[in-house]
Amino acid sequence: MSLHVLDVAENSIDAGAGLIVITLSENEKEDSFSVQIEDDGKGMDEEMVKRVLDPFFTTKTVRRFGLGIPLLEQSCRESGGGLHIESAAGKGTTINARFRKSHIDRKPLGDMGSTMMTLIGGHPEIDFELRFEKNGVADSVLSTRELRKELEGVPLNEPAVLKYIRENVNEAMQEVY
Ligand SMILES: Nc1ncnc2c1ncn2[C@@H]1O[C@H](COP(=O)(O)OP(=O)(O)O)[C@@H](O)[C@H]1O
Ligand SMILES: [Mg+2]
């Protein structure tokens, strides 16, 4: 799952986002697990949103990762969930991937710490937020805005800072499967 998050967040970065908010939510009563990625990038018009689910559609000349949104949608469907895209040109995009938590084919969360470290290390100028919501109660795991204040000028892509980010996120996500 963390590789999908990396891939979808890279789309947000390509779209010129300044803030990317990633929310992981778990709901035991609904037996659901969802990943939402919200950005304030250039967005997409309706036509484009429809085309994005087509595995052969890309506005890039070369696919760097080859995961893409169609594969994420497939993985949602295979585990009893679905993918929802909300976007407006000039405003931003929200992608919500929902899975049935107990489904045998649902991929585990994976290494979210490394995903956050890769995103922040590669794009220290962008702000990222990672939230975790359990049964409707939300908690902030990481906010680069807050971290910047605490660091008092030390850059986010300093190796010690990135290591701290990875360890901190993985510790917070320990119980999340
Ligand atoms: N958050 C986003 N904001 C704006 N455009 C997006 C966003 N996510 C995806 N897109 C558009 O959808 C296309 C397909 O995305 P994706 O399936 O990840 O494939 P790829 O990134 O390899 O092109 C992108 O090339 C881009 O034009
Ligand atoms: Mg992509």
What residue's CA is closest to ligand 1, atom 26?
59
Residue 57 CA to residue 60 CA, distance in Å, equals 9
Residue 56: which pLDDT band, with cuts at 50, 70 and 90?
confident
pLDDT tens by residue, 65-99: 557 899 999 999 999 999 999 999 999 999 999 99
Alpha-carbon distances, residue 64 vs 60, 61, 123 (angstroms): 9, 9, 17
pLDDT at 65: 54
Ligand 1 atom nearest the C-alpha of 71 is 17
pLDDT at 163: 98
What residue's CA is closest to ligand 1, atom 19?
68
DSSP of 102-130, one letter per residue?
T-TTPPP---HHHHHHHHHHH-TTSEEEE
The verdict on residue 177 lying in a domain is: no
Q: Are 63 and 7 in contact (CB under 8 A)?
A: no
Q: How far is the CA of 79 from the centre of ligand 1 (A)?
A: 23
Ligand 1 pocket test: which of 4, 7, 11, 13 has the largest number of ligand atoms within 8 Å of its C-beta? Answer: 11
What residue's CA is closest to ligand 1, atom 1?
12
How many domains is the chain partitioned into structurally?
A: 1
Whether the pLDDT of residue 114 is over 80: the answer is yes
Which residue, chain included where needed, has tokens 């469907």?
77
The verdict on residue 67 lying in a domain is: yes
The verdict on residue 58 lying in a domain is: yes
Q: Are 24 and 2 in contact (CB under 8 A)?
A: no
φ/ψ of residue 4, rounded to 5: -65, -40
Whether the pLDDT of residue 14 is over 60: the answer is yes
What residue's CA is closest to ligand 1, atom 13?
58
Question: How does the average pLDDT of the chain come out, rounded?
Answer: 94
CATH number at 73 reads: 3.30.565.10
The verdict on residue 42 lying in a domain is: yes
Which residues on neighbouring strands pair with residue 20, listed in sequence order?
39, 128
**Which is nearest to 21 in space by CA: 129, 101, 109, 114?**
129
pLDDT tens by residue, 133-171: 999 999 999 999 999 999 999 999 999 999 999 999 999
List the domain range (segments joined by +) for residue 158.
2-172
Residue 106 CA to residue 33 CA, distance in Å, equals 9
